[in-house]
Structure 1
Protein backbone atom coordinates (compact mmCIF):
# COMPACT_ATOMS: atom_id res chain seq x y z
CA UNK A 1 0.00 0.00 0.00
CA UNK A 2 1.17 3.52 -0.80
CA UNK A 3 0.03 6.64 1.00
CA UNK A 4 0.22 10.05 -0.64
CA UNK A 5 -0.76 13.46 0.74
CA UNK A 6 -2.34 16.07 -1.54
CA UNK A 7 -2.83 19.81 -1.20
CA UNK A 8 -5.81 21.54 -2.82
CA UNK A 9 -4.49 24.62 -4.56
CA UNK A 10 -4.74 26.80 -7.65
CA UNK A 11 -3.69 24.96 -10.80
CA UNK A 12 -0.11 25.57 -11.94
CA UNK A 13 0.68 27.68 -14.98
CA UNK A 14 1.93 24.69 -17.00
CA UNK A 15 -1.52 23.08 -16.74
CA UNK A 16 -3.39 26.28 -17.60
CA UNK A 17 -1.06 26.77 -20.58
CA UNK A 18 -1.78 23.25 -21.85
CA UNK A 19 -5.57 23.75 -21.64
CA UNK A 20 -5.23 27.15 -23.35
CA UNK A 21 -3.32 25.55 -26.24
CA UNK A 22 -6.21 23.09 -26.69
CA UNK A 23 -8.91 25.77 -26.33
CA UNK A 24 -7.16 28.08 -28.82
CA UNK A 25 -6.39 25.15 -31.16
CA UNK A 26 -2.74 26.25 -31.30
CA UNK A 27 -1.06 23.16 -29.73
CA UNK A 28 2.24 24.97 -29.17
CA UNK A 29 4.52 25.48 -26.18
CA UNK A 30 1.83 24.49 -23.68
CA UNK A 31 2.61 20.89 -24.58
CA UNK A 32 6.22 21.30 -23.47
CA UNK A 33 4.98 20.22 -20.01
CA UNK A 34 5.16 16.63 -21.29
CA UNK A 35 8.31 14.54 -21.23
CA UNK A 36 9.43 13.60 -24.73
CA UNK A 37 8.40 9.97 -24.12
CA UNK A 38 5.18 10.75 -22.20
CA UNK A 39 2.19 8.40 -22.44
CA UNK A 40 -1.39 9.65 -22.68
CA UNK A 41 -4.51 7.57 -22.03
CA UNK A 42 -7.66 9.59 -22.65
CA UNK A 43 -10.61 7.25 -22.78
CA UNK A 44 -9.57 4.60 -25.32
CA UNK A 45 -6.58 6.62 -26.58
CA UNK A 46 -3.12 5.15 -26.01
CA UNK A 47 -0.67 7.72 -27.33
CA UNK A 48 3.09 7.49 -26.82
CA UNK A 49 5.37 10.52 -27.11
CA UNK A 50 4.82 14.26 -26.67
CA UNK A 51 4.49 14.92 -30.41
CA UNK A 52 2.03 12.05 -30.85
CA UNK A 53 -0.07 13.42 -27.97
CA UNK A 54 0.01 16.90 -29.51
CA UNK A 55 -0.94 15.74 -33.02
CA UNK A 56 -3.67 13.32 -31.93
CA UNK A 57 -5.31 15.95 -29.71
CA UNK A 58 -5.14 18.42 -32.60
CA UNK A 59 -6.84 15.87 -34.89
CA UNK A 60 -9.51 15.16 -32.26
CA UNK A 61 -10.31 18.81 -31.49
CA UNK A 62 -10.46 19.60 -35.22
CA UNK A 63 -13.40 17.17 -35.65
CA UNK A 64 -16.13 19.75 -35.39
CA UNK A 65 -16.06 21.48 -32.02
CA UNK A 66 -14.27 24.10 -29.95
CA UNK A 67 -13.38 23.35 -26.33
CA UNK A 68 -13.22 25.64 -23.30
CA UNK A 69 -11.74 24.05 -20.16
CA UNK A 70 -12.77 25.25 -16.70
CA UNK A 71 -11.06 24.45 -13.41
CA UNK A 72 -13.23 23.08 -10.61
CA UNK A 73 -10.42 21.85 -8.37
CA UNK A 74 -6.75 20.92 -8.50
CA UNK A 75 -4.93 18.66 -6.04
CA UNK A 76 -1.15 18.59 -5.87
CA UNK A 77 1.46 16.17 -4.59
CA UNK A 78 5.10 15.84 -5.60
CA UNK A 79 4.61 12.96 -8.06
CA UNK A 80 0.89 13.06 -8.95
CA UNK A 81 -1.39 15.97 -9.88
CA UNK A 82 -5.19 15.62 -10.02
CA UNK A 83 -7.36 17.98 -12.03
CA UNK A 84 -11.16 18.08 -11.92
CA UNK A 85 -13.04 20.40 -14.20
CA UNK A 86 -15.57 20.78 -16.96
CA UNK A 87 -15.13 21.30 -20.65
CA UNK A 88 -17.53 23.34 -22.74
CA UNK A 89 -17.85 21.68 -26.14
CA UNK A 90 -19.34 24.08 -28.70
CA UNK A 91 -20.03 22.21 -31.90
CA UNK A 92 -19.62 23.62 -35.39
CA UNK A 93 -23.07 22.20 -36.22
CA UNK A 94 -25.56 24.75 -34.80
CA UNK A 95 -28.11 21.95 -34.37
CA UNK A 96 -25.99 20.35 -31.63
CA UNK A 97 -26.28 22.13 -28.28
CA UNK A 98 -23.14 22.99 -26.33
CA UNK A 99 -22.17 20.24 -23.89
CA UNK A 100 -20.42 20.69 -20.52
CA UNK A 101 -19.17 17.27 -19.40
CA UNK A 102 -17.22 16.75 -16.21
CA UNK A 103 -13.62 15.57 -16.50
CA UNK A 104 -10.89 14.21 -14.26
CA UNK A 105 -7.23 14.01 -15.22
CA UNK A 106 -4.27 12.40 -13.46
CA UNK A 107 -0.81 13.73 -14.27
CA UNK A 108 2.09 11.54 -13.17
CA UNK A 109 5.30 13.51 -13.05
CA UNK A 110 8.53 12.22 -14.55
CA UNK A 111 10.99 10.65 -12.08
CA UNK A 112 14.02 12.09 -13.92
CA UNK A 113 12.49 15.57 -14.36
CA UNK A 114 9.58 16.23 -11.96
CA UNK A 115 8.70 19.41 -13.88
CA UNK A 116 7.50 17.24 -16.79
CA UNK A 117 4.46 14.96 -17.11
CA UNK A 118 5.38 11.36 -17.91
CA UNK A 119 1.85 9.93 -17.97
CA UNK A 120 -1.54 11.55 -18.46
CA UNK A 121 -4.71 9.60 -17.71
CA UNK A 122 -8.01 11.34 -18.30
CA UNK A 123 -11.73 10.75 -18.51
CA UNK A 124 -14.33 13.14 -19.92
CA UNK A 125 -18.06 12.73 -20.03
CA UNK A 126 -20.35 11.29 -20.87
CA UNK A 127 -21.74 14.10 -22.99
CA UNK A 128 -25.26 12.71 -22.66
CA UNK A 129 -27.38 9.76 -21.63
Structure 2
Protein backbone atom coordinates (compact mmCIF):
# COMPACT_ATOMS: atom_id res chain seq x y z
CA UNK A 1 0.00 0.00 0.00
CA UNK A 2 1.01 3.58 -0.56
CA UNK A 3 1.00 5.64 2.63
CA UNK A 4 1.10 9.39 3.05
CA UNK A 5 2.77 10.93 6.09
CA UNK A 6 0.40 12.62 8.53
CA UNK A 7 0.82 16.21 9.68
CA UNK A 8 1.91 16.93 13.23
CA UNK A 9 -0.54 19.32 14.84
CA UNK A 10 0.09 18.72 18.56
CA UNK A 11 2.73 20.05 20.95
CA UNK A 12 3.96 22.72 18.52
CA UNK A 13 6.85 24.73 19.99
CA UNK A 14 5.68 27.77 21.94
CA UNK A 15 7.29 30.55 23.89
CA UNK A 16 7.72 34.32 23.73
CA UNK A 17 11.32 34.13 22.45
CA UNK A 18 11.09 31.34 19.86
CA UNK A 19 9.92 30.88 16.29
CA UNK A 20 9.60 27.69 14.25
CA UNK A 21 8.86 26.20 10.84
CA UNK A 22 6.89 23.25 12.25
CA UNK A 23 3.43 24.23 10.94
CA UNK A 24 3.63 21.91 7.91
CA UNK A 25 5.86 19.14 9.31
CA UNK A 26 4.75 15.53 8.68
CA UNK A 27 5.51 12.13 10.24
CA UNK A 28 9.23 11.31 10.53
CA UNK A 29 10.36 14.71 9.24
CA UNK A 30 12.09 17.49 11.15
CA UNK A 31 11.55 21.18 11.71
CA UNK A 32 13.68 23.91 13.26
CA UNK A 33 13.01 25.96 16.38
CA UNK A 34 15.14 29.09 16.81
CA UNK A 35 15.27 32.36 18.74
CA UNK A 36 13.40 35.45 17.56
CA UNK A 37 15.29 38.53 16.36
CA UNK A 38 17.25 40.36 19.04
CA UNK A 39 18.04 37.09 20.84
CA UNK A 40 20.70 34.45 20.35
CA UNK A 41 20.80 30.73 21.00
CA UNK A 42 21.47 27.46 19.21
CA UNK A 43 18.58 26.39 16.97
CA UNK A 44 17.04 23.02 17.86
CA UNK A 45 15.71 20.31 15.55
CA UNK A 46 12.28 18.88 16.41
CA UNK A 47 10.84 15.62 15.03
CA UNK A 48 7.27 14.83 14.00
CA UNK A 49 6.29 11.60 15.76
CA UNK A 50 3.76 9.00 14.49
CA UNK A 51 1.47 10.11 17.34
CA UNK A 52 0.93 13.49 15.62
CA UNK A 53 3.04 15.47 18.09
CA UNK A 54 6.37 17.18 17.55
CA UNK A 55 9.11 16.54 20.06
CA UNK A 56 12.31 18.39 20.90
CA UNK A 57 14.03 20.89 23.17
CA UNK A 58 13.37 24.63 23.13
CA UNK A 59 16.50 26.71 22.52
CA UNK A 60 17.85 28.82 25.37
CA UNK A 61 17.48 32.37 24.07
CA UNK A 62 19.44 35.25 25.58
CA UNK A 63 19.24 38.89 24.52
CA UNK A 64 21.95 40.26 22.25
CA UNK A 65 23.99 43.08 23.79
CA UNK A 66 24.66 46.49 22.29
CA UNK A 67 28.15 47.91 22.12
CA UNK A 68 29.26 51.13 23.77
CA UNK A 69 28.73 54.71 22.67
CA UNK A 70 31.64 57.02 22.00
CA UNK A 71 30.15 60.49 21.74
CA UNK A 72 32.24 63.63 22.26
CA UNK A 73 31.40 65.62 25.43
CA UNK A 74 28.84 62.97 26.48
CA UNK A 75 28.75 60.50 29.37
CA UNK A 76 26.45 57.46 29.40
CA UNK A 77 25.46 54.22 31.14
CA UNK A 78 24.89 52.33 27.88
CA UNK A 79 27.88 49.97 27.71
CA UNK A 80 26.73 46.42 26.91
CA UNK A 81 23.03 46.84 27.67
CA UNK A 82 20.70 44.03 26.56
CA UNK A 83 18.38 44.11 23.55
CA UNK A 84 15.10 45.85 24.40
CA UNK A 85 16.48 47.79 27.38
CA UNK A 86 17.25 51.49 27.69
CA UNK A 87 20.08 53.66 28.98
CA UNK A 88 20.77 57.38 29.36
CA UNK A 89 23.25 59.91 28.01
CA UNK A 90 24.08 63.31 29.53
CA UNK A 91 26.71 66.01 29.20
CA UNK A 92 30.06 64.88 30.60
CA UNK A 93 31.76 66.68 33.48
CA UNK A 94 33.08 70.03 32.29
CA UNK A 95 30.32 70.45 29.72
CA UNK A 96 26.90 72.09 29.88
CA UNK A 97 23.85 71.05 27.96
CA UNK A 98 20.91 72.96 26.63
CA UNK A 99 18.72 70.35 28.30
CA UNK A 100 18.59 69.65 32.01
CA UNK A 101 17.48 66.04 31.63
CA UNK A 102 19.34 63.03 30.20
CA UNK A 103 18.52 61.61 26.77
CA UNK A 104 17.14 58.05 26.69
CA UNK A 105 18.67 55.51 24.26
CA UNK A 106 17.45 51.99 23.43
CA UNK A 107 19.22 48.81 22.34
CA UNK A 108 17.23 47.83 19.26
CA UNK A 109 17.59 45.66 16.16
CA UNK A 110 18.05 46.94 12.64
CA UNK A 111 15.00 46.50 10.39
CA UNK A 112 16.88 44.57 7.71
CA UNK A 113 18.89 42.41 10.10
CA UNK A 114 17.19 41.44 13.35
CA UNK A 115 20.35 39.72 14.59
CA UNK A 116 22.39 42.92 14.65
CA UNK A 117 21.59 45.29 17.50
CA UNK A 118 22.53 48.92 17.88
CA UNK A 119 21.95 51.81 20.24
CA UNK A 120 19.37 54.31 19.03
CA UNK A 121 18.62 57.73 20.53
CA UNK A 122 19.25 61.46 20.45
CA UNK A 123 22.65 62.85 21.34
CA UNK A 124 22.51 65.58 24.00
CA UNK A 125 23.68 69.01 22.89
CA UNK A 126 26.73 69.80 25.02
CA UNK A 127 29.26 72.64 25.05
CA UNK A 128 32.37 73.33 27.17
CA UNK A 129 31.62 75.18 30.43
CA UNK A 130 32.83 78.75 30.73
CA UNK A 131 35.85 79.17 33.00
User: TM-score, normalising length from structure 1?
Assistant: 0.30
Using CA pairs under 8 Å that are at least 6 residues apart, name the structure with larger relative contact order, 1 or 2.
1
Q: Which has the higher strand share?
A: 1
* Greater Rg over alpha carbons, structure: 2
Q: Which has the higher helix share?
A: 1
